[in-house]
Every structure is written in structure tokens, then in C-alpha cells.
Amino acid sequence: MSFFSRIFGGGKSDQKTPTPAEAVQKLREVEEMLIKKQDYLEKKVEQELNIAKKNGTKNKRVALQALKRKKRFEKQLQQIDGTLTTIEFQREALENASTNTEVLKIMGHAAKALKGAHEDMDVDKVHDLMDEVQEQQEIANEISEAISNPVGFGHDIDEDELSKELEELEQEELDKQLLDVGPETENLPSPPQTEPSTSRKAKIQEDEDEDIKELAAWAS
């Protein structure tokens, strides 16, 4: 029986199909085994390369045999790399399938629970209930609005009349302030000691008139 047959089964028709989670676990085991073999082959390649370098042209036959073995190991490494890539893709696909399976199971349980919750509900009754709730809410709003408005206050008052009364009060206050502001005699400045400029000009004019009269009398 081959290695893969041991890992995934012998292919019997009556064998139980593995779940995605079980298949993922098996693929992980194969990956670990191939990675270990990969490390072993890389060491062998390095050993054969050292043998070829050590013998060189001194022992050409040994060096050539080492290079041939190195080539075989490198070919096996390439095959393992390809196999690991394939297994990685398959494992990721199975992991996604497993995740999707779990999600679908949960969604199925949720759908059943939702269906059970709705079994006792009648859509028409729900609409009737919501209409009744809306009606009661409107009644409650009307009651609150009626309670918040004091009875007999503010319904028969003329806004223009109130504005006119306010203007009269403001004018009355302004008049009162103007009456309160009067001259204070105690702090009045003292009158000037010299004659006003208009009196001085009148006196000068009078003197000039007298001079003109005297000149006129002398000339006659």
C-alpha cells in the first residue's frame, strides 16, 4: 500500500468520506513529512557538492559521481516543491470549505430559530398592534400638549398693544433720566474779570466817533 493510500485510505467504496477538517489534518501531516524530507535532501545536495569540490580534477570519477547524486537530489527537491505547492492550494480550499460549512450550519440554526420565533406571530395582528401603538402615542402627545398650556393665559392678549405699552414705558424712563440731569451751581466756573470782547469794541467805536467830532469842529 502506497504512502498516500495509507494517509487518505485505500479507496474502498464502503469507506466513510472524511470531513473537510479531517482532510485538512491529513494534508498537514503530509506537508510536515515532505518538509522534513526537503531538509534532508538539501543537506545531501550540500554534502555532494563539497565532495565534488574536494576531489575536483584530482579524482575526477569521484567528483562526477558526487555531481550526479547532487543532480538527483535537486530533482527530488523540485518535485517536493511542486507537491507542497499543490497540497497548500488543496489545504486552503478545504479550510475555506470547512469554514463555509460551519457558517452554513450556524446560518441554518439561526434560520430555524427565527422561524420558530415567527411561528406564533400573525402579520396582520402585528400591523394592528403597531397602529394601536401609534394611535395611543398621538393621544399621549395631545394630552401632554394640553397639560403644558396654562388655562386662560395668553390667548386674548394683543401683541401690538403690548408693544405700544413697552414703548411708552421706555419713553417714560428716558424722560425721567433727562429730568434728573440738571445744572450744578456749585461747580460753575467764575465769570471772567476782563470786559467781554464786544464791550471793548463798542468803547473803541465810541472814542473814534468823539475824535471825528473834534476834528470836524477844528476844521470849521
- d(C-alpha 210, C-alpha 213), whole Å: 5
3-class secondary structure, 131: helix
Above 60 in pLDDT, residue 104? yes
| pLDDT bracket for residue 154 (50, 70, 90) | low
In this prediction, what percent of the chain has a pLDDT beyond 70?
Answer: 71
140-155: string of b/e by CB count within 10 Å (b at 16+)? eeeeeeeeeeeeeeee
Backbone phi, then psi, for 201, in 5-degree steps? -65, -35
Read off the C-alpha cell for 133. 401603538
Range in 13-17, 86-90, 142-146 with the lowest mean pLDDT: 13-17
Look at residue 211 and tell me if it is in a domain.
no
Look at residue 92 and tell me if it is in a domain.
yes
Q: What pLDDT, on a 0 to 100 scale, did the predictor assign at position 69?
A: 93
Kindly state the average pLDDT of the residues 133-156.
78
Read off the C-alpha cell for 111. 434560520
List Cβ neighbours of 52 (8 Å cut-off, separation of 6 or more): 63, 64, 66, 67, 70
Q: What pLDDT, on a 0 to 100 scale, did the predictor assign at position 157?
A: 66
Q: Are the C-beta atoms of 24 and 94 separated by less than 8 Å?
A: yes
| pLDDT bracket for residue 116 (50, 70, 90) | confident
| pLDDT bracket for residue 30 (50, 70, 90) | very high
Above 90 in pLDDT, residue 72? yes
Look at residue 170 and tell me if it is in a domain.
no
- d(C-alpha 38, C-alpha 79), whole Å: 10
Q: What pLDDT, on a 0 to 100 scale, did the predictor assign at position 33?
A: 95
Look at residue 1 and tell me if it is in a domain.
no
Q: What pLDDT, on a 0 to 100 scale, did the predictor assign at position 86?
A: 93
Count CB-CB contacts under 10 A for residue 91: 18
Show the domain range for 89: 21-116
In this prediction, what percent of the chain has a pLDDT beyond 90?
Answer: 24
Look at residue 35 and tell me if it is in a domain.
yes
CATH number for the domain that contains residue 40 = 1.10.287.1060
66 exposed, middle or buried (CB, 10 Å; 0-12, 13-18, 19+)? buried
Q: Determine the angle formed by the axes of helices 60-119 and 20-55, rounding to 10 degrees.
A: 170
48 exposed, middle or buried (CB, 10 Å; 0-12, 13-18, 19+)? buried
Q: What pLDDT, on a 0 to 100 scale, did the predictor assign at position 193?
A: 57
Look at residue 52 and tell me if it is in a domain.
yes
Q: What pLDDT, on a 0 to 100 scale, did the predictor assign at position 56?
A: 82
Look at residue 177 and tell me if it is in a domain.
no
Q: How many domains does the chain have?
A: 1
Look at residue 185 and tell me if it is in a domain.
no
More confident call, 117 vs 36: 36
